[in-house]
């Protein structure tokens, strides 16, 4: 069966599963599933930047916060149901990324990572000082009375599911396009990429803005589900920690990696904080140890290691090498030329 | 007059900040790794000092620096040998960054679970309140001692790196990791000592900072950001630059606190960010 058919079939199955899940799952499970999907989207966005554009951001929480605050404030000013102002979240987060990219892109590697972190700290400090956005105590969702609470959880789940599917589909489409090829060539060797005419800065810029916009969208949905936002939760560096661990454990620079990573992330959390009765701190310790061990033993992550062993390719964006038949023609042709 | 005093106190605080940065700069200079867990190791050494001070209440808490420094050196040696050396030659420059970030998350949460999230500080009694009066200015003895100690350590480090065999080996390893092997140097072992030295310097900074202000297991991130800003502001490769960078940050922070008492590190972060905007190439230029 051709890959395309499998992909279309599984996409239809997934859409059906997400559409039907709220009818089957109870509210607690639905909330957990929503959380999983949102974190998966964020991890994919972090992966787009780190795994494909080669930029590790330790301050990505700032885009989550920008998206969420943008939603809360706009919804309050316009007095409309938060769902209708959702597009504001990615727009604001993306716009902030587009502006901040100019100074930050002068920095490479660890400098970029930590400068992003400092930027997040500065914006977080300003938010805590500014009474207009609620200061340290945060703001409730002003328009929560406009929400139909009978359908709130299912709607949040559908939005999160839709966002995840669209994100993954768009990333797959992007990575199989010439833009994605350019992006990966920049990651692998920016000098070589430049020499064949790839615009390195533009590629990085687009990846950065898209990554920020996606995180803003997912962050807005996350805090909309809580009906409340406070700077300590929104600017928590743990957002970056979660995104990073999920991507590192699952497999950096692959689309399937974060999916596997999210499964491990939540599986471990439910196991450690549920039946084992451990605190959130020990859970993060456990997750950190797994991430460190994976980085040392399988630096590309678990999915690439697993894929090579079982030979299954799901959302593979690798180009196939020239077929043996085609390769056999080439030496013959060159012989003719030299002969 | 009050502003002069603020500037002087900022400079004194800057000596301490220079100490926070120097360990990070050393590791980066030698093995091109930014050790994100540096701040967490500093907090860990502060916790060790508090524990030891509680065990031996009759001894001066500053004496605890000696065992804590030795312990930090050993921890750094093991940390490098067991973990960081495995990725230090990785072709991907991001691997050490991600790995040390993972370690910092582990350390932070272990400290939260073991020591609790309460605010702690290291009490040194009279010494922390003692002050000198020079030309109508009040200058704390403890911050002054800290700056003197920082300057002495910087000088000692400079001398060791310039004029001893160990220093030559470290500099050679920093320049050409592959070539020093021809002279019988094992780069990985050099790295072990450098990381030990880095964490020992970090321990001095961490313990002295714990005397000056309180800390929690979450303070590591703040300390790392200060250390990083110090290194970048001062320019890489220059130890005296790190001291100057620390002084600039210390002044920015205290002036900020005068303007707005709960600004925290905001103004230090501002200084760093503005410098990045106006002098990026000069700041990022690294020694090769």
My answer on whether A72 and A199 are in the same domain is yes
Range scoring the smallest mean pLDDT among B107-111, B249-253, B284-288: B284-288
For residues A28 and A118, membership in a common domain is answered with yes
pLDDT exceeds cutoff 50 at A334: no
How many Å apart are CA B203 and CA B210, to the nearest integer?
10
Q: Which of B80, B91, B93, B105 to mutate to test the interface with A (most CBs of A within 10 A)?
A: B105
Q: Does any CB of chain A come closer than 8 Å to the CB of residue B275?
A: no
Q: Tally the residues of chain B.
A: 288
- Mean pLDDT, rounded, for B61-74: 89
Pick from B141, B109, B154: nearest CA to B18: B154
pLDDT tens digits for range B113-166: 998 888 888 877 777 677 777 777 777 888 888 888 888 998 898 899 889 999
Give me the CATH number covering residue B147: 1.10.3470
> Which of the listed residues A199, A219, A236 is the one where a domain comes to its end?
A236
Which of A206, A236, A266 lies at the terminal end of a domain, its last residue?
A236
Q: Are strands B137-140 and B131-134 parallel, antiparallel or unpaired?
A: antiparallel
pTM: 0.87
Is residue B240's pLDDT more than 70?
yes
**ipTM here:** 0.86
Chain centroid, CA A255 distance in Å: 10
pLDDT at A292 over 60: yes
Residue A334 domain-assigned (yes or no) = no
- A218 and A288 fall within a common domain: no
- Residue B241: the pLDDT is 78
Q: How many domains does chain A have?
A: 2
The residue-averaged pLDDT of A142-149 equals 76
When the pLDDT of each residue in chain A is averaged and rounded to a whole number, the result is 84
Considering just the CA atoms, what is the radius of gyration of chain B in Å? 19
Indicate if A114 and A180 belong to the same structural domain: yes
Q: Tell me what the mean pLDDT of segment A245-261 comes to.
A: 90
Q: Which residues contact B231 (CB under 8 A, 6 or more apart)?
A: B21, B24, B25, B28, B242, B245
CB atoms within 10 A of CB A275: 8
Assigned domain for A332 exists: no
User: Is the Cβ pair A288, B94 closer than 8 Å?
Assistant: no
How close B112 gets to chain A, by Cα (Å)?
A: 7
Could you tell me the two tokens for A301?
A: 């992550």
**Which chain B residues are within 8 Å of A108, Cβ to Cβ?**
284
Q: For residue B188, what are its two tokens?
A: 């990985």
Domain that holds residue A101: 1-236
Q: Is residue A271 helix, strand or coil? A: helix
Domain assignment of residue B146, given as a range: 2-284
Query: Tokens in use for A207?
Result: 């990846």
The C-alpha atoms of residue A28 and residue A21 are separated, in whole angstroms, by: 12
Show which of residues 225-264 on chain B sit within 8 Å of chain A, judged by CB atoms.
Answer: 225, 228-229, 232, 260, 262-264
In a domain, A177, yes or no: yes
Is some CB atom of chain B closer than 8 A to the CB atom of A260?
Answer: no
Give yes or no for residue A174 having a pLDDT over 60. yes
A145 and A244 assigned to the same domain: no
The shortest CB-CB distance from A244 to any of B98, B225, B266 is to B98
A118, B229: Cβ pair inside 8 Å?
yes
Query: What pLDDT is stored for residue B192 in this prediction?
Result: 93
Q: What is the mean pLDDT of chain B?
A: 85
Place of tokens 């990085």: A204
Chain B nearest CA to A78, separation (Å): 32
User: Is A197 a member of any domain?
Assistant: yes
Same domain for A241 and A230, yes or no, is no
pLDDT in tens, B162-217: 899 999 999 898 888 888 888 888 889 999 999 999 999 999 999 988 888 888 88
Question: Could you tell me if A93 and A206 lie in one domain?
Answer: yes
Q: Specify the number of domains making up chain B.
A: 1
Cβ separation of B97 and A279 shorter than 8 Å?
Answer: no
């Amino acid at each position: 069966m051709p890959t395309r058919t499998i992909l279309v079939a599984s996409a239809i199955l997934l859409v059906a599963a997400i559409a039907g899940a709220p009818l089957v799952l109870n509210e607690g499970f639905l909330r957990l599933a929503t959380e999983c999907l949102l974190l998966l989207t964020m991890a994919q966005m972090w992966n787009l930047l780190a795994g494909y554009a080669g930029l590790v951001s330790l301050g990505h929480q700032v885009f989550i916060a920008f998206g969420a605050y943008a939603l809360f404030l706009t919804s309050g000013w316009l007095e409309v149901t938060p769902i209708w102002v959702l597009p504001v979240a990615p727009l604001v987060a993306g716009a902030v990324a587009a502006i901040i990219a100019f100074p930050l892109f002068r920095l490479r590697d660890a400098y970029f990572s930590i400068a992003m972190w400092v930027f997040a700290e500065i914006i977080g400090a300003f938010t805590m000082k500014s009474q207009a956005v609620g200061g340290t105590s945060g703001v409730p969702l002003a328009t929560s009375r406009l929400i139909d609470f009978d359908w709130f959880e299912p709607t949040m789940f559908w939005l999160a599911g839709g966002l995840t599917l669209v994100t993954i589909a768009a990333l797959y489409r992007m990575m199989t396009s010439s833009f994605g090829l350019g992006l990966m060539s920049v990651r692998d060797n920016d000098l070589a990429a430049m020499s064949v005419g790839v615009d390195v800065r533009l590629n990085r810029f687009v990846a950065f803005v898209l990554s920020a916009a996606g995180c803003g969208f997912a962050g807005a949905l996350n805090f909309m589900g809580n009906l409340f936002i406070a700077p300590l939760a929104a600017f928590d560096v743990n957002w970056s920690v979660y995104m990073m661990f999920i991507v590192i454990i699952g497999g950096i620079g692959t689309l399937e990696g974060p999916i596997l990573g999210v499964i491990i992330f939540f599986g471990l959390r439910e196991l450690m904080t549920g039946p084992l009765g451990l605190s959130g701190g020990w859970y993060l310790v456990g997750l950190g140890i797994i991430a460190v061990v994976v980085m040392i033993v399988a630096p590309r992550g678990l999915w690439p290691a697993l894929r090579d062993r079982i030979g299954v390719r799901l959302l593979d964006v690798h180009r196939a090498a020239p077929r043996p038949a085609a390769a056999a023609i080439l030496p013959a042709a060159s012989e003719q030329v030299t002969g | 007059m009050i502003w002069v005093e603020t500037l002087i106190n900022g400079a004194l605080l800057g000596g301490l900040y220079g100490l926070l940065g120097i360990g990070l700069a050393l590791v980066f200079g030698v093995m091109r790794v930014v050790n994100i867990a540096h701040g967490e190791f500093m907090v860990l050494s502060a916790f060790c000092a508090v524990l030891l001070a509680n065990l031996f209440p009759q001894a001066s808490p500053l004496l605890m620096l000696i065992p804590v420094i030795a312990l930090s050196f050993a921890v750094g040696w093991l940390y490098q040998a067991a973990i960081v050396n495995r990725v230090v030659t990785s072709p991907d420059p991001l691997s050490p960054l991600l790995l040390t970030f993972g370690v910092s998350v582990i350390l932070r949460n272990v400290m939260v679970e073991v020591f609790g999230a309460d605010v702690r500080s290291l009490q040194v009694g009279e010494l922390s309140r003692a002050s000198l009066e020079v030309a109508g200015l009040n200058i704390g003895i403890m911050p002054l001692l800290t700056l003197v100690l920082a300057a002495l350590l910087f000088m000692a480090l400079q001398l060791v790196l310039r004029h001893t065999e160990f220093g030559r080996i470290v500099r050679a390893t920093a320049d050409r990791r592959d070539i020093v092997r021809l002279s019988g140097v094992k780069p990985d072992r050099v790295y072990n000592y450098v990381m030990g030295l880095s964490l020992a310097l970090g321990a001095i900074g961490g313990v002295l900072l714990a005397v000056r202000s309180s800390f929690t297991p979450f303070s590591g991130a703040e300390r790392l950001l200060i250390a990083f800003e110090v290194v970048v502001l001062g320019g890489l490769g220059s130890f005296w630059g790190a001291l100057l960078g620390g002084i600039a940050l210390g002044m920015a922070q205290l002036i900020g606190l005068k303007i707005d008492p709960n600004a925290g590190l905001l103004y230090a972060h501002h200084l760093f960010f503005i410098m990045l905007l106006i002098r990026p190439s000069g700041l990022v230029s690294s020694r090769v």
